[in-house]
Structure 1
């Protein structure tokens, strides 16, 4: 619920915090390191630099933890510091464990921009980390793709074709299976109406994946003028208005650019229109 109010605040241009209310990157990193060390008592957690930790397992293997997204999320809502740290600590702690076999009932479709996979690999190499494994990716439109992943208790685990084969899932049935799982896993979606731009909520991790659920996108039910125009600037923000609402479209563009530039887990500042049962560039 706190996250919903924070996002509504985005529409209302509220929620600005003074710099003095926010920990510095160094202070945040030290506090995060202590929490992660407590969660992994057998590992050695050390600070490399602000927002960069190393996690050395007893066996000698070393993993890296980058806190950029955690700090960005915390900076936007400092009052949620404990929740942010707890969620990211749980995610990092789970990621240090060896993954088990892929569970077909937990496969979900994650909507990303086309450059995401290449950028993830480039960023990992630049930071000296391990490059992401091969992924199973399907085209959605000219700008967006579907990356298939496994929804785990604390993470989103991307997998490759070999994992899919070993799990006995046929590629031509993957999308239908993932969408059905998504319907089961996602919290109930809700439209938060605004005078110019409205917002669709459904938890936080898979909000852009709502683009794949045809039952969500009815201009009449959503109360928009003309065709549905949407923006998915980050992983947890989906905004929409009507194509005939000129001021709404203008505001949507402004919010998409600002949120994609400032928010954690940035996606794209492009706008898309729902036409012929699918989303295409607006």
Structure 2
């Protein structure tokens, strides 16, 4: 394994897979709400796995486990505390106020293929209103979508929700970036010798590509930042004048994208005139 591969190697497997984590979560929910009927709804991806329970008074509660499982993967020893915190945030049936909702809006890097597939799924489900997402183009193959990062789940911001949020479409991206900027202190950088991985929470790592100039001083690179976002939880960087690292970054990006369930792009990018463009040597 090359030095670069060791730096950007996939994270080690965690003690519990998402199915076992969901069982632990459901058990904790049952203990927290003894009179509730608790069940697990499986899904194709970790983000879609849901624990559902019905309270004796008829209230229905759904908690998607994507965020909780991502937190557990980063700190498996803290599983009990993570589950407890997410149960504390279980929906009460009351909608958060607009200010609280605005503070939870974040940018999420997605692919144009994801958008096309999602729209086809709406078609297949017979849903006529397909304005379920607000997106902005990023590159030929990437775009940014906007989500409310709620404790129980991510939910996409739809055009019809802007009025309730007290936002215009033009205000959405600046707000999302400002909310993301508040997470900069928790950002970590791994690597050395000009080759680095920028780490966040496993959900928004790639989104920090928008704030590259704000973490630029944490990496020692030659030239301008060359970045890769091969997956949602990967943001890799080296310098434009370091040809060996550029070649290694290109190879690693292709490998990660091919293996990840949340693959984005095997391309390398740089910022030019405020736009993300494909990097060419």
TM-score (norm 1): 0.69
Query: Once the 2 structures are TM-superposed, how far is the Cα of residue 89 of structure 1 from its aligned partner?
Result: 8.0
**Structure 2 unpaired stretches of 5+:** none
Structure 1 residues 89 and 96, CA gap change in structure 2 (3 angstroms): farther
Q: What is the rounded CA distance, in whole Å, between the counterparts of 1:231 and 1:90 in structure 2?
A: 32
Structure 1 residues 174 and 64, CA gap change in structure 2 (3 angstroms): closer
Query: Once the 2 structures are TM-superposed, how far is the Cα of residue 224 of structure 1 from its aligned partner?
Result: 2.5
Partner secondary structure for residue 176 of structure 1: helix
Partner secondary structure for residue 100 of structure 1: coil
Structure 1 residues 166 and 245, CA gap change in structure 2 (3 angstroms): same
Q: What is the rounded CA distance, in whole Å, between the counterparts of 1:119 and 1:96 in structure 2?
A: 32
**Structure 1 unpaired stretches of 5+:** 1-7
Partner secondary structure for residue 198 of structure 1: strand
Aligned to 2:155: 157
Q: What is the rounded CA distance, in whole Å, between the counterparts of 1:192 and 1:88 in structure 2?
A: 30
Decide whether the 8 Å contact of 1:39 with 1:89 is kept in 2: no
Partner secondary structure for residue 215 of structure 1: helix
Aligned to 1:175: 173
2:264 corresponds, among 239, 257, 267, to 267
CA deviation digits over 1:221-271, x for unaligned, max 9?
A: 743234422112233321111233232123213332333344564433332
1:44 corresponds, among 31, 37, 45, to 37
Aligned to 2:232: 235
Decide whether the 8 Å contact of 2:194 with 2:221 is kept in 1: no
Partner secondary structure for residue 222 of structure 2: coil
1:86 corresponds, among 72, 82, 86, to 82
Structure 1 residues 116 and 36, CA gap change in structure 2 (3 angstroms): farther
Partner secondary structure for residue 142 of structure 1: coil
Cα root mean square deviation, aligned: 4.5
Q: What is the rounded CA distance, in whole Å, between the counterparts of 1:37 and 1:239 in structure 2?
A: 41
Q: What is the rounded CA distance, in whole Å, between the counterparts of 2:123 and 2:30 in structure 1?
A: 25
Partner secondary structure for residue 213 of structure 1: helix
Q: What is the rounded CA distance, in whole Å, between the counterparts of 2:261 and 2:29 in structure 1?
A: 21
Decide whether the 8 Å contact of 2:197 with 2:236 is kept in 1: yes
Higher mean displacement: 159-168 or 41-50: 41-50
Structure 1 residues 139 and 98, CA gap change in structure 2 (3 angstroms): farther
Q: What is the rounded CA distance, in whole Å, between the counterparts of 1:73 and 1:137 in structure 2?
A: 26
Partner secondary structure for residue 46 of structure 1: strand
Decide whether the 8 Å contact of 2:15 with 2:76 is kept in 1: no
Partner secondary structure for residue 208 of structure 2: helix
1:135 corresponds, among 133, 136, 141, to 133
Structure 1 residues 168 and 201, CA gap change in structure 2 (3 angstroms): same
Decide whether the 8 Å contact of 2:28 with 2:83 is kept in 1: no
CA deviation digits over 1:91-144, x for unaligned, max 9?
A: 896468554344334333222222334555778999xxxx99812211122222
Partner secondary structure for residue 135 of structure 1: coil
Q: What is the rounded CA distance, in whole Å, between the counterparts of 1:133 and 1:89 in structure 2?
A: 33
Equivalent pairs, count = 265
Q: What is the rounded CA distance, in whole Å, between the counterparts of 2:142 and 2:80 in structure 1?
A: 28
Q: What is the rounded CA distance, in whole Å, between the counterparts of 1:100 and 1:201 in structure 2?
A: 29
Q: What is the rounded CA distance, in whole Å, between the counterparts of 1:241 and 1:135 in structure 2?
A: 33
Q: What is the rounded CA distance, in whole Å, between the counterparts of 1:184 and 1:166 in structure 2?
A: 24
Structure 1 residues 55 and 181, CA gap change in structure 2 (3 angstroms): closer
TM-score (norm 2): 0.69
Decide whether the 8 Å contact of 1:108 with 1:179 is kept in 2: yes
Structure 1 residues 32 and 61, CA gap change in structure 2 (3 angstroms): closer
